[in-house]
């Protein structure tokens, strides 16, 4: 995502504090040597008593602001800029700079070089620019942009907006309701606690929403997405993606195009594989499992609804049985195609008890096939009443496995 688009998204395209504007007095030493400056109030019309406006040198400078709204420009060298009080604008310039915002809402620009930016308190805007930068938003609702390079961004407390930019970035929202962009390369996005939005973008990204009701989008590439506790929406996007949503809270998962591996959690989930040869696993809750186009494997339990979609699909229905084990529903395979699709029924039962008895009862009125376990209805296979049955086991379409 370009910087301008990022700033428009977070509402910060127009920044009131510019870098290097006004009529600053030159530094006392322009020789390029290290310089520690005692700053005085500048004479710019946008500044008032207590405000500072000063440039550094091409050397390694230390520029310290005061209680007012300060503008500090490090220029060349490895500089240390400290804003302290006021709404400060700090520009590190070239070199490996360290910038500290201070107590209020500050604007920090690292410039060229491997920079470290600390927002401090307030709602800060931090931009790393070029180089492998490290940005900390700290307290407040901050906006962080890594720029070009392999950057590391930590939002900290507050509702933050973080964009990695170009490069292999680490983007960590911290606590709060955060929005994270990975950019165009292989990024790692960590939502943390709160209701977060994670956008991987292009590349082979790793997304972890953490706890909270999150919205995660992998984008293009072969992504790995992890969901924490909460009611999450996961869009894996194009590519062969892996989604692990084994956590509490109902999930909505869409694998998108590609050969995906999608795993749901403990509650009532909706999982769609999309185009491609997908593997869908969900052994908790009453789920809707839809393979989409392609030759899919769908592994659920006796409470789920299965949709294979186009292609040669395999349905694996696993249900624990035995005395004291209760089911909260009946499973259904809604689009079984005899001669094309395959059903495997796995029935783990308690050690020391009799193995379950499985029977198949065609229903001529509905055209469905009812699968009974120990005399109780466990699974309905729609449109499968005409399947040939040999004894209690289907010859051409079914496999029944009892596991002690």
User: Residue 135: helix, strand or coil by DSSP?
Assistant: strand
pLDDT in tens, 167-203: 999 999 999 999 999 998 999 999 999 999 999 999 9
Number of domains forming the structure of the chain: 1
Asked if the structure places residue 364 within a domain, the reply is yes
pLDDT in tens, 79-105: 999 998 889 999 999 999 999 998 999
pLDDT the model gives residue 16: 33
Percent of the chain with pLDDT over 90: 67
Are the C-beta atoms of 186 and 167 separated by less than 8 Å? no
pLDDT of 20 higher than 90: no
Q: Which two tokens stand for residue 374?
A: 């120990």
Asked if the structure places residue 329 within a domain, the reply is yes
Asked if the structure places residue 141 within a domain, the reply is no
Most confident of 29-33, 88-92, 325-329: 88-92
- Rounded to 5 degrees, φ, ψ at 250 are -70, 135
pLDDT the model gives residue 48: 46
Q: Pick from 126, 115, 56: which is nearest to 88 by CA? A: 126
Q: Which two tokens stand for residue 202?
A: 């292009």
pLDDT the model gives residue 389: 61
Are the C-beta atoms of 382 and 368 separated by less than 8 Å? yes
Asked if the structure places residue 363 within a domain, the reply is yes
Asked if the structure places residue 328 within a domain, the reply is yes
Q: Pick from 293, 295, 303, 306: which is nearest to 256 by CA? A: 293
Q: Which residue bears the tokens 């065609």?
A: 362
Percent of the chain with pLDDT over 70: 82
Return mean pLDDT, the chain: 86
Domain that holds residue 363: 319-404
* CA atoms of 53 and 73, how far apart (whole Å): 8
* CA atoms of 180 and 166, how far apart (whole Å): 14
Asked if the structure places residue 335 within a domain, the reply is yes
pLDDT in tens, 113-152: 999 999 999 999 999 999 999 999 999 999 999 999 999 9
pLDDT the model gives residue 85: 85
Classify 163 in phi/psi space as left (phi over 0), alpha (psi -120 to 50) or beta. beta
* CA atoms of 217 and 86, how far apart (whole Å): 38
Chain length of the chain: 404
* CA atoms of 285 and 301, how far apart (whole Å): 9
Asked if the structure places residue 361 within a domain, the reply is yes
Tell me the pLDDT band of 355, cut-offs 50, 70 and 90: confident
Beta-bridge partners for 64? 82
CA atoms within 13 A on the CB side of 173: 31
pLDDT the model gives residue 230: 98
pLDDT of 53 higher than 90: no
Q: Pick from 248, 289, 278: which is nearest to 265 by CA? A: 248
Q: Which helix (H) or strand (E) holds 8?
A: helix 3-10
pLDDT: is 40 or 56 the higher one? Answer: 56
Tell me the pLDDT band of 402, cut-offs 50, 70 and 90: low
Q: Which two tokens stand for residue 66?
A: 């005061």
Asked if the structure places residue 301 within a domain, the reply is no
pTM: 0.85
């Amino acid at each position: 995502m370009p910087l301008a688009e990022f700033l428009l998204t977070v509402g910060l395209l127009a920044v009131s504090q510019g870098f290097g504007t006004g009529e600053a007095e030159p530094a006392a030493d322009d020789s390029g040597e290290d310089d520690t400056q005692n700053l005085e109030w500048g004479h710019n019309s946008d500044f008032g008593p207590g405000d500072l406006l000063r440039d550094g040198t091409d050397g390694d400078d230390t520029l310290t602001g005061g209680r007012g709204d300060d503008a500090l420009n490090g220029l060349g060298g490895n500089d240390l800029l400290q804003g302290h009080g006021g709404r400060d604008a700090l520009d590190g310039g070239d070199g490996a700079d360290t910038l500290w915002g201070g107590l209020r809402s500050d604007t920090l620009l690292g410039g060229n070089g491997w920079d470290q930016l600390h927002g401090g308190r307030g709602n800060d805007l931090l931009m790393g620019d070029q180089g492998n930068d490290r940005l900390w938003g700290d307290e407040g609702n901050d906006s962080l942009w890594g720029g070009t390079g392999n950057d590391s961004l930590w939002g900290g407390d507050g509702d933050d907006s973080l964009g990695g930019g170009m490069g292999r970035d680490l983007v960590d929202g911290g606590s709060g309701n955060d929005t994270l962009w990975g950019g165009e390369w292989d990024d790692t996005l960590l939502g943390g606690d709160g209701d977060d939005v994670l956008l991987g973008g292009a590349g082979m990204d790793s997304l972890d929403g953490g706890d909270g009701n999150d919205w995660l989008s992998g984008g293009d590439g072969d992504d790995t997405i992890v969901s924490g506790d909460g009611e999450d929406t996961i869009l894996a996007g194009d590519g062969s993606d892996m989604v692990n949503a084994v956590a509490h809270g109902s999930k909505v998962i869409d694998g998108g195009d590609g050969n995906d591996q999608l795993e749901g959690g403990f509650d009532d989930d909706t999982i769609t594989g999309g185009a491609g040869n997908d593997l869908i696993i969900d052994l908790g809750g009453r789920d809707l499992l839809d393979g989409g186009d392609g030759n899919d494997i769908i592994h659920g339990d006796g409470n789920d609804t299965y949709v294979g979609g186009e292609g040669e699909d395999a349905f694996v229905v696993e249900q624990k049985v035995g005395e004291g084990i209760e089911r909260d529903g009946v499973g259904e395979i809604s689009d079984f195609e005899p001669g094309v699709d395959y059903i495997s029924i796995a029935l783990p039962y308690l050690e020391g008890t009799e193995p379950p008895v499985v029977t198949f009862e065609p229903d001529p009125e509905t055209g469905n096939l009812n699968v009974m376990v120990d005399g109780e209805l466990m699974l309905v296979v729609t449109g499968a009443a005409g399947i040939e049955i040999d004894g209690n086991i289907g010859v051409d379409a079914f496999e029944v496995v009892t596991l002690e």
